[in-house]
Amino acid sequence: MNTVVSSYLRSAKSIDLGGTGFFRLVGLLAGACANFAVIAILSRDYGVEYYAFYALMASMLNLLPFADFGIGATMVNATADYRSGALDRMSFQSHFRRASLVTVLVSLAVASLAFLFYQLGLWVPMLGAVGEMSHASALATVVIISAAVGIPLGLGSRILQGCGKMRVVVTAALIGPIIQLIVIVVCWTTHAPAYLFVLAPCAGYLAVGFLTLALALRSISGDVGSLVGWSLTSPVRVRMAETAVPFFLISIGMVVGFQSHRLLISTFGTVEDVAQYSVVAQFAGPLLAILGVMGQNLWSRYRQRYRLGTLRVREFSQHIVLLGTVGAVFALALIVISYPGIRFVSGGSLAVPLATVLAGSVYILVVSVHQPAAMFLMDPRGLWLQVLCVWLSGLAGMALAISLIPDLGPAALYLGLSAGMVVLQVIPCICISMRRISSMEKTGVTV
- Would you state the pLDDT for residue 88? 82
341: domain range?
Answer: 239-447
- Asked whether residue 224 falls in the same domain as residue 253, the answer is no
- Asked whether residue 38 falls in the same domain as residue 147, the answer is yes
- Would you state the pLDDT for residue 297? 85
- Would you state the pLDDT for residue 376? 94
**Mean pLDDT (whole number) for 229-243:** 62
- Asked whether residue 411 falls in the same domain as residue 288, the answer is yes
| Contact of 425 with 389, CB cutoff 8 Å | yes
Does residue 150 form part of some domain? yes
Q: Is the pLDDT of residue 266 over 80?
A: no
- Would you state the pLDDT for residue 65? 61
- Asked whether residue 372 falls in the same domain as residue 427, the answer is yes
- Asked whether residue 225 falls in the same domain as residue 257, the answer is no
- Asked whether residue 96 falls in the same domain as residue 188, the answer is yes
Which residue among 195, 229, 263 closes a domain? 229
Q: Which bin fits 8, alpha (ψ -120 to 50), beta or left (φ > 0)?
A: alpha
Contacts of 118 by beta carbon, 8 Å cutoff, 6+ apart: 137, 138, 140, 141
Does residue 5 form part of some domain? no
Higher pLDDT among residues 114 and 58, named by residue: 114
Helix, coil or strand: residue 35: helix
**Mean pLDDT (whole number) for 405-418:** 88
Does residue 10 form part of some domain? no
**Mean pLDDT (whole number) for 42-61:** 77
Does residue 441 form part of some domain? yes
Q: Is the pLDDT of residue 435 over 60?
A: yes
Q: Which of 33-47, 57-71, 361-375 has the highest mean pLDDT?
A: 361-375
Pick the range with the lowest mean pLDDT from 201-205, 344-348, 411-415.
344-348
The whole-model pTM stands at 0.82
Q: Which bin fits 228, alpha (ψ -120 to 50), beta or left (φ > 0)?
A: beta
- The count of domains in the chain is 2
Among 437, 170, 430, CA closest to 323: 430
Whole-number percent of the chain with pLDDT over 70 = 87
Which residue among 229, 257, 274 closes a domain? 229
pLDDT tens figures, 207-228 = 999 999 999 988 876 544 455 5
**Mean pLDDT (whole number) for 70-96:** 86
- Asked whether residue 223 falls in the same domain as residue 247, the answer is no
- Asked whether residue 208 falls in the same domain as residue 246, the answer is no
- Would you state the pLDDT for residue 230? 44
Q: What is the dihedral of CA 191, 192, 194, 199, to 10 degrees?
A: -130
Pick the range with the lowest mean pLDDT from 63-72, 144-153, 157-166.
63-72
- Asked whether residue 223 falls in the same domain as residue 244, the answer is no
- Asked whether residue 134 falls in the same domain as residue 191, the answer is yes
Q: Is the pLDDT of residue 231 over 60?
A: no
- Asked whether residue 31 falls in the same domain as residue 171, the answer is yes
DSSP 208-255: HHHHHHHHHHHHH-S-HHHH----S--SS----HHHHHHHHHHHHHHH
- What is the number of residues in the chain? 447
Does residue 7 form part of some domain? no
Which residue among 208, 229, 250 closes a domain? 229
The mean pLDDT of the chain is: 84
- Would you state the pLDDT for residue 223? 43
Contacts of 28 by beta carbon, 8 Å cutoff, 6+ apart: 286, 289, 290
- Would you state the pLDDT for residue 14? 62
- Asked whether residue 351 falls in the same domain as residue 310, the answer is yes
Does residue 95 form part of some domain? yes
pLDDT tens figures, 338-392 = 877 777 766 666 677 888 889 999 999 999 999 999 999 999 999 999 999 999 9
Largest Cα span, the chain: 69
How far apart CA 230 and CA 238 sit, in angstroms, is 14
Does residue 2 form part of some domain? no
Does residue 282 form part of some domain? yes
Higher pLDDT among residues 59 and 83, named by residue: 83
